[in-house]
Structure 1
């Protein structure tokens, strides 16, 4: 059985939409905030419709065996400075765990950019009822956006605020 879940994270960033968009598009900047946990990491990025990303690493948690992590994405729609839509797969030890459709929307605000991240996940392999897996995915997305916020700031990182809403669908 596949479990479907959707969540949205809204964030204010203190830079113009063009700088936020560049942080997604420019591989050097993107690597400052997007990475898989672990060691022995590899990364490729092709920011164009039909292009995508691949990332691999080996992660060892406390008292757990090493896990081989893989991330593969494909950009579906890119509208400069406004919208990025992509799909991705999360694979652990060569086993597909989930796939997601992500929509990132950027809109100008008086003092920066409003970012809205909506993720629609299909968990094909999950633990228990899948609630822990959803919490893990949502938490990882919040951490990734924290990293984006930090990558866009010239000074010391500031604690960001996030509005996270989750819709559960079976």
Structure 2
């Protein structure tokens, strides 16, 4: 049996062409944000439910959230996303915290599900560094796309762009809280 092809960053891994269960795309991206808040405030924006809801929300309507910020805990969220000329999509987000170091590091895994179909799973490491004038947040995400949208070429830009917008919301939530 021939060895599977070697995955490269940003390219689809199709070790067994024609078998959709083995057609998984792996990618990694990093987003860095300078935040005008001390590390303890940035950390609290992840941990405190009231602050978290200001910046972490699923799109759509009728959203529900259950969040437990502790190692072994996580978040379950659901919403309905209306689409023009199509049935609405049912969105689900499930995460699990793997490592938490107060004011410095959060490591978690999560899955994104659309209409009961797992779309991607990720491992995320959030580092919060004190830069003297505030904090530098570094978000590193390692993602496995399990079900592609079309040819999959828009999946990573969509996820990276959505994460960047969410982190913009984090910055705004921190400003509103000061």
Aligned equivalents of 1:68 and 1:27: distance in 2? 23
Report SS of the residue matched to 1:30: helix
Per the alignment, residue 162 of structure 1 pairs with none
Q: Max radius of gyration: which structure?
A: 2
Q: Offset at 1:110?
A: 1.9
Correspondence list, 1:10-25, <5 A: 10-25=32-47
Deviations 1:2-47 (A, max 9, x none): 0001000011000100000000000111001000000111001000
* Equivalent of 1:35 in 57, 60, 68: 57
Aligned equivalents of 1:93 and 1:35: distance in 2? 18
Per the alignment, residue 79 of structure 1 pairs with 101
Per the alignment, residue 56 of structure 1 pairs with 78
TM-score (norm 2): 0.84
Q: Offset at 1:61?
A: 2.8
Q: Offset at 1:62?
A: 3.2
Report SS of the residue matched to 2:29: strand
Which range moved further: 33-42 or 57-66?
57-66
Q: Which runs of 4+ in 1 moved over 4 A?
A: none
* Equivalent of 1:123 in 141, 145, 153: 145
**Number of aligned positions between the proteins:** 155
Q: Offset at 1:64?
A: 3.2
Q: Which structure is richer in relative contact order (CA contacts within 8 A, separation 6 or more)?
A: 1
Correspondence list, 1:65-104, <5 A: 65-104=87-126
TM-score (norm 1): 0.88
Consecutive unaligned residues in structure 1, runs of 5 or more? 156-170
* Cα-Cα RMSD: 1.1
